[in-house]
Structure formats: structure tokens, C-alpha cells
């Protein structure tokens, strides 16, 4: 199985469950890459003339080979975008060579060859240039850049997230496939929609809904003041998005002001949650263990390396609410290490006295309920939406100013938490100071808040793989050298013995 194009068994099971329980992802079909699929038993060649029976599914743009019809165990899965498709020598096989150099020779059932041939070729012929015109740069991150684009048929503006294939190590690729899966699983007004996915030999393109207002972080920067009733309206939409994610078994794991988009720059803006690149999947039984997220928003159980569930999103939501209400983080410390220690030792304040005097009691109660150190005591998204702060009709606080936000989240020079390939944690790795807000637009601003850190266990896994490869190479090199030395030594000894025998006088030979 080609690891670059593979998805985990949990992800495959997630896809299967959603397809069975809610009509699959075809209910929200991709615009141009969502082709009519096909499925059934096929023969897959493996050793010259031998074939193994596999249950194949071409859904939208992906080919998945399962061990059997139950679709529980994935043998291989990958994109057909840009693949080379040809007929086999006998004319009964479809030979597929993907952009990842994975080669499969598939033999469809008798009489179904033309159907399979048509679907596979449709998927392979999809290229983004045929459907979208790429325009200016909207933003750039560690592993991707986002460009504005225009639909050539409708003229609609979209955002295209572009990720180079050179950065797609196997674990990162699994996260990408998962990001596609979860974004197609959810259709909600407060979540950025995935419109299309294109995959070429060098890049992967995510075509996303274009949200014009920019990040919530920048929205806060532009406001000279904000009111409690405005925060309530924004935060309710965040909780609605989080609730629908959790109902689908999806944990975002990187909720922060940077990953929440505004539909406009006006006071009555709506918001949409985006960036599911670190999303995890839960099924009500299994817990998650990956150490991922942004330090300033990470829950205590993550830092303690304990198994966790969707409650980590509720902690991050609490941090976001705290920031919207006060313009500061609830954690003490100027460096990331100090902040993480503050979270672990419970050394973080809740609401400062100035905010406590201004905010309503219901508002303060919700903040306390979300920033609970014990995840079992934390409110769920559904419970938070039924909190008195949202249900109350008392608008006494509606005109009360929350904060002038002079000390805005992320303007301090915090350390980033970065795991380098050598397995060592980077220290004193500073974010450049934020530029004066008047000189930059929301899209041009360098993100002053702490960026998403690379999952430590994922990096360690990659480091471990590389080390094993090197050790394996050295081991076999040593074996080969030892073998050659043994052969050379044996040959030399044999020649020496033969030479001594040839030089002995005949009288000394035994009779």
C-alpha cells in the first residue's frame, strides 16, 4: 500500500459510517470533482498473471480498494486526479498510474468494463485550470498558501488553499485526507464550505468558500471597543459550529481567533469556523492522544499527555470567549514555556476585576464553566448553548462596553512551540513583533498570535521512521561488508593452503 495516498482505518471507518447513516458525502457533492461513482468487485493484479479479488469504490475523485464488501479494511486508497489511465494488453484491464507512482491493474466484471473505464477517466481528467482562474495571494502559512480564484463558469469568487506535494509526508497526508473528509461531512452555515478538491503531480488544491471579512482576530484589532451583546452573538455562532462538529464525531483541536472567519467587517458580521487540518475523529469509545494545537488555546489534559475527547474544544472556546470579553489571555506569562506551566499548575486568572465589574453574572458564569481544569466538569457545546447567558431575555448589559481592547490578544512576543526533525524542542523561537495595525490590512498582516504547532508525536514518528531507515541501511551495509570480508578471508586461507601443498616435496606425501 502506498503510504502517501493512504488513510487510516479509523478514517475509513468514519467515511463508511457517515455514508451509511447520512447518505454519504454525496449529499453535499463537490462542484466539479464530484463525479458519479461506481463500486463492485474487481480483480487487482499482483504478481504477473495473478489477481486478488477486491471490493473497489470510486466515489467522487477517489479510488478505494477494500478487502471485502463490508468496507471495513482498506487495502489502498488514493486520488485519481492527474492519473495516467490505459488499457491492459488483453483489453480487459484498466491500468492506473497515480501521481504518487502507485500502479494498479484492475479487471472489472465482464460487461462492466465500459462503465468503469468512463468513471476512472473522468476522475483522472480533472484539473483545476479547467474550472478556476487563480488570482492574487490572500495569505500564506507554514505548509500552504491561499489564493483568490474565480469560477470560470459562474464567476463566483472562491479561496484556493494550495499545498505543495513536497511537504506531504505520510502522516501529514493522512491529516489532509481527514480534513477533506470532515469538511465534506458537514454542511453548516457557520463552517467554511469545501467546494472542490484537485490533486496534481506537485500540488493539492482545496477550493473553499471565500469569506470576505477576514479573521476574527483582525476583526477585533479593527474595533476600538466591543460590547457584551456583540460578543454573545459571535460566540453563539462559534458554539453552533462546534456542536455540529461534535455531533459528527469531529474534534477541531485548533480552535482560535485565527481560525474563525468573519463574513464582513461590519458590527453585525456572521462567523465561520475553518481550518480542520488538525481535526481528530472520535466514536464515543476511543480517546485521542495526539499532542496537537496552539499553546495559548491548549487544554490542561493535552499538556499532561492524557487521553482526551471533544472537551478540549470547549476549553479553547473558553479561551476565545475570555479574549473577546477582556482583550487578554487567561494565562500568565510572557513566554510560551511560562504560559504552559501556568496552565498545568492552574496558575491562571479568570476575569480581571475591571471585567468582573462590567460583565453580567451570566456571562461570567459561562466563562467559569468553560475554563474548568477538570474536563468532566466542562460544559459541552450543547449545554453551553442552553446556558442562561443565551436564554436570558434581560438586556440590561446590552449597552455595556466590555473592553477597548488596547491590549489585544497576540500582540505580545510569545515563543512558538516547534518540534524540529531531530526530535528536539525549539526554544527561544520568537514570533516577529506585530507591525503597526494602521499600516497593514487584515489580509496583509503577519499573524501576531501564536501559530499552530506541529504535533510532537507526529514529528517524533517521522523522525523514528527516518532513523529506522538509516539503521536498516547501515545494518545491511555492515552485513554486506562482513560477508565480503569473510569471503575474502576464506579465499585467502584456501589459496594459502593450496600454495603450501603445491610446494611440499613428493617424499613427504603420505603413501
Annotated binding site for ATP: 161
Q: Is the dihedral of CA 464, 145, 320, 263 positive or negative?
A: negative
Among candidate residues 11, 93, 171, 254, the one labeled active-site is 254
Residue 363 in grid coordinates: 456571562
Buried b (16+ CB within 10 A) or exposed e, 383-398: ebbebebeeeeeeebe
Residue 503 in grid coordinates: 610446494
- Using alpha carbons, select from 286, 205, 240 the residue that is nearest to residue 11: 286
What phi-psi label fits residue 90: left (phi over 0), alpha (psi between -120 and 50 degrees) or beta? alpha
Please confirm, yes or no, whether 275 is among the known catalytic residues: no
Maximum C-alpha span of the chain: 125
| Beta strands 51-59 and 38-45, pairing class | antiparallel
| Beta strands 203-209 and 194-199, pairing class | antiparallel
- Using alpha carbons, select from 294, 284, 315 the residue that is nearest to residue 452: 294
C-alpha Rg value of the chain to the nearest Å: 29
Total residue length of the chain: 511
- Using alpha carbons, select from 183, 181, 176 the residue that is nearest to residue 203: 176
Burial class (CB in 10 A: 0-12, 13-18, 19+), 369: middle
Rounded to 5 degrees, what are φ and ψ at 86?
-145, 165
How many CB atoms neighbour CB 510 within 10 A?
3
- Using alpha carbons, select from 429, 431, 436 the residue that is nearest to residue 449: 431
Give the separation between CA 55 and CA 23, rounded to whole angstroms: 19
First to last CA, the chain: 68
Give the separation between CA 5 and CA 264, rounded to whole angstroms: 37
For 319-370, the DSSP string reads HHHHHHHHSS-SB--SSHHHHHHHHHTT-B--S-HHHHHHS-HHHHHHHHHH
Residue ranges of the annotated binding site are 161
Active site residues: 254
Amino acid at each position: 500500500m502506498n503510504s502517501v495516498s493512504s488513510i487510516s482505518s479509523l478514517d475509513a471507518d468514519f467515511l463508511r459510517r457517515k455514508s451509511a447513516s447520512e447518505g454519504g458525502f454525496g449529499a453535499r457533492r463537490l462542484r466539479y470533482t464530484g463525479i458519479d461513482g461506481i463500486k463492485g468487485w474487481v480483480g487487482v493484479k499482483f504478481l504477473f498473471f495473478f489477481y486478488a479479488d477486491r471490493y473497489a469504490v470510486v466515489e467522487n475523485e477517489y479510488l478505494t480498494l477494500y478487502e471485502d464488501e463490508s468496507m471495513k479494511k482498506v487495502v489502498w486508497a488514493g486520488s485519481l486526479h492527474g492519473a495516467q489511465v490505459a488499457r491492459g494488453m488483453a483489453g480487459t484491464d484498466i491500468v492506473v498510474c497515480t501521481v504518487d507512482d502507485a500502479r494498479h491493474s484492475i479487471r472489472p466484471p465482464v460487461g462492466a468494463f465500459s462503465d468503469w473505464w468512463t468513471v476512472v477517466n473522468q476522475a483522472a481528467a480533472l484539473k483545476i485550470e479547467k474550472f478556476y482562474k487563480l488570482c492574487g495571494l490572500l495569505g500564506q502559512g507554514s505548509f500552504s498558501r491561499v489564493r483568490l480564484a474565480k469560477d470560470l463558469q459562474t464567476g463566483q469568487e472562491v479561496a484556493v488553499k494550495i499545498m505543495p506535494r513536497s511537504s506531504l509526508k505520510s502522516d501529514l497526508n493522512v491529516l489532509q485526507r481527514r480534513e477533506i473528509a470532515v469538511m465534506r461531512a458537514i454542511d453548516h452555515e457557520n463552517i467554511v464550505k469545501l467546494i472542490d478538491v484537485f490533486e496534481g503531480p506537485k500540488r493539492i488544491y482545496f477550493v473553499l468558500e471565500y469569506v470576505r471579512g477576514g479573521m476574527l482576530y483582525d476583526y477585533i484589532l479593527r474595533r476600538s471597543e466591543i460590547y457584551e451583546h456583540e460578543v454573545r452573538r459571535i460566540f453563539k455562532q462559534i458554539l453552533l459550529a462546534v456542536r455540529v462538529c461534535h455531533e459528527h464525531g469531529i474534534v477541531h483541536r485548533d480552535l482560535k481567533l485565527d481560525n474563525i472567519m468573519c463574513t464582513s467587517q461590519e458590527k453585525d458580521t456572521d462567523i465561520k469556523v475553518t481550518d480542520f487540518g488538525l481535526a481528530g475523529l472520535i466514536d464515543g469509545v476511543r480517546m485521542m492522544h495526539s499532542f496537537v494545537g496552539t499553546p495559548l488555546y491548549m487544554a490542561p489534559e493535552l499538556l499532561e499527555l492524557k487521553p482526551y475527547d471533544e472537551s478540549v474544544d470547549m476549553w479553547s472556546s473558553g479561551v476565545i470567549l475570555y479574549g473577546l470579553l477582556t482583550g487578554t489571555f487567561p494565562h500568565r506569562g510572557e513566554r510560551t514555556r511560562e504560559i504552559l506551566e501556568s496552565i498545568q499548575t492552574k496558575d491562571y486568572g479568570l476575569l480581571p476585576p475591571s471585567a468582573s465589574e462590567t460583565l453580567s453574572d451570566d456571562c461570567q458564569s459561562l466563562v467559569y464553566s468553560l475554563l474548568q481544569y477538570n474536563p468532566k466538569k466542562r460544559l459541552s457545546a450543547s449545554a453551553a448553548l442552553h446556558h442562561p447567558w443565551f436564554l436570558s431575555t434581560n438586556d440590561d448589559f446590552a449597552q455595556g462596553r466590555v473592553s477597548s481592547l488596547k491590549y489585544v490578544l497576540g500582540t505580545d512576543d510569545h515563543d512558538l512551540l516547534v518540534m524540529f526533525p531531530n526530535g528536539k524542542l525549539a526554544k527561544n523561537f520568537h514570533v516577529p513583533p506585530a507591525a503597526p495595525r494602521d499600516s497593514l490590512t487584515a489580509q496583509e498582516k503577519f499573524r501576531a498570535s501564536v501559530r499552530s504547532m506541529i504535533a510532537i508525536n507526529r514529528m517524533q514518528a517521522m523522525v523514528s521512521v527516518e532513523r529506522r531507515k538509516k539503521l536498516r541501511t547501515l545494518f545491511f551495509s555492515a552485513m554486506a561488508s562482513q560477508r565480503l570480508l569473510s569471503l575474502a578471508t576464506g579465499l585467502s586461507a584456501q589459496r594459502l593452503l593450496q600454495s603450501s601443498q603445491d610446494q611440499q616435496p613428493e617424499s613427504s606425501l603420505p603413501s
